[in-house]
Structure 1
Amino acid sequence: MHFEVAVNSKKWKNAMDMEINSIVKNNTWTLTILPQKNKKIRVKWIYKTKRDENGNVIKHRDGTRPPYNLNTKLVAKGYAHKQRIDFTEVYAPVARMYTVRMIISVVAQGSWKIYQLDVKSAFLHAELEEKVYTDQPKGY
């Protein structure tokens, strides 16, 4: 799906608003003018409908579609930049499999309950030394 289609859908527009509100709430960026000799990273919207293992749209038990079945992400097109010119290090804060196994082991030994948790904006908490400039997202 493209932005031009999504922006005319109330459901997708609400999903985009939720993504922007999450970014604003976390003080991720400040609207500014691009300084001379700096490059900006372009951004784009990605749209996905969440489905179960059989390909069905995720629904509540009462048959209604939950508001979180539409997944909208604002992503940076960082692939256009060159290592050692535009950046020096790449890092993605993700859990390693051995960490997950260790946590499950501790939970099992303690006979505790375990729940899945998806931290949608975990990447927003990474510390950056460089100033990064992006396009303003379409529609905002």
Structure 2
Amino acid sequence: MSDNEIKESKDLYTHFALFVDFDPTTFDIVIKEPKRQKAIDEEIATIEKNNTWELIELPKRHKTIGVKWIYKTKLKGNGEVDKYKTCLVAKGYKQEYGVDYIKVLAPITRQDTIRLVISLGSQNSWSILQLDVKSTFLQGDL
């Protein structure tokens, strides 16, 4: 979009959404917002439903690893808020290789794979949909 098109646009607020940081960084701010509190409750419910972790006694010579909340605001194409997302993540940077973990696994998609899927879809006139997976967990011992 050119500068002239932006100046002539009747909906300037959409353009300002690109420059605004919606995402809080502290729990103290988030806990006061009912919409974000709902996202936290949903994340905790999902963690419990998936049996993501279980409480055990800490083995000798091991240390606890803390967690941190990550908050994201997902926007629609027009700049309006679509939903509030919350994710509880382990502070992996406190872990020590060989003591706290042995293998490193990261479920990621390579750009080559994305290009291949889009190319196949285009060649075969398939519909391609993007999904936002609410929570993904590897089924393995952590």
Question: Helix, strand or coil for the counterpart of 1:83?
Answer: coil
Q: CA deviation at 1:28?
A: 0.6
The amino acid across from 1:16 in the alignment is I
Q: CA deviation at 1:13?
A: 1.1
Question: Helix, strand or coil for the counterpart of 2:37?
Answer: helix
Do structure 1's residue 71 and structure 2's residue 99 form an aligned pair? Answer: no
Do structure 1's residue 12 and structure 2's residue 36 form an aligned pair? Answer: yes
Which segment is superposed worse, 108-117 or 2-11? 2-11
Structure 2 Cα separation of the partners of residues 31 and 4 of structure 1: 26
Q: Which has the higher contact order (CA 8 A, sep 6+)?
A: 1
Question: Helix, strand or coil for the counterpart of 1:125?
Answer: coil
After TM superposition, the score normalised by the length of structure 1 is 0.72
Structure 1 residues 25 and 49: alpha-carbon distance in aligned structure 2, compared to 1, 3 A threshold: same
Instruction: Provide the alpha-carbon RMSD of the alignment.
Output: 2.1
Unaligned runs of 5+ in 2: 1-23
After TM superposition, the score normalised by the length of structure 2 is 0.71
- Residue in 2 aligned with 1:42? 66
Structure 1 Cα separation of the partners of residues 55 and 103 of structure 2: 25
Q: Verify the 8 A CA contact 2:66 2:90 in the aligned structure 1.
A: yes
Do structure 1's residue 127 and structure 2's residue 140 form an aligned pair? Answer: yes
Structure 1 residues 37 and 83: alpha-carbon distance in aligned structure 2, compared to 1, 3 A threshold: closer
Report % sequence identity. Answer: 44
Q: Say which structure is richer in helix.
A: 2
- Residue in 1 aligned with 2:14? none
Unaligned runs of 5+ in 1: 59-65, 133-140
Structure 1 residues 40 and 71: alpha-carbon distance in aligned structure 2, compared to 1, 3 A threshold: same
Task: Pick the aligned partner of 2:124 from 110, 120, 130.
Answer: 110
Question: Helix, strand or coil for the counterpart of 1:116?
Answer: coil
Structure 1 Cα separation of the partners of residues 48 and 109 of structure 2: 25
Q: CA deviation at 1:53?
A: 6.8
Q: Give CA-to-partner distance per residue, 1:37-87, whole Å, 9 cap, x none.
A: 322211011122223578x343xxxxxxx4xx1111111111011223322
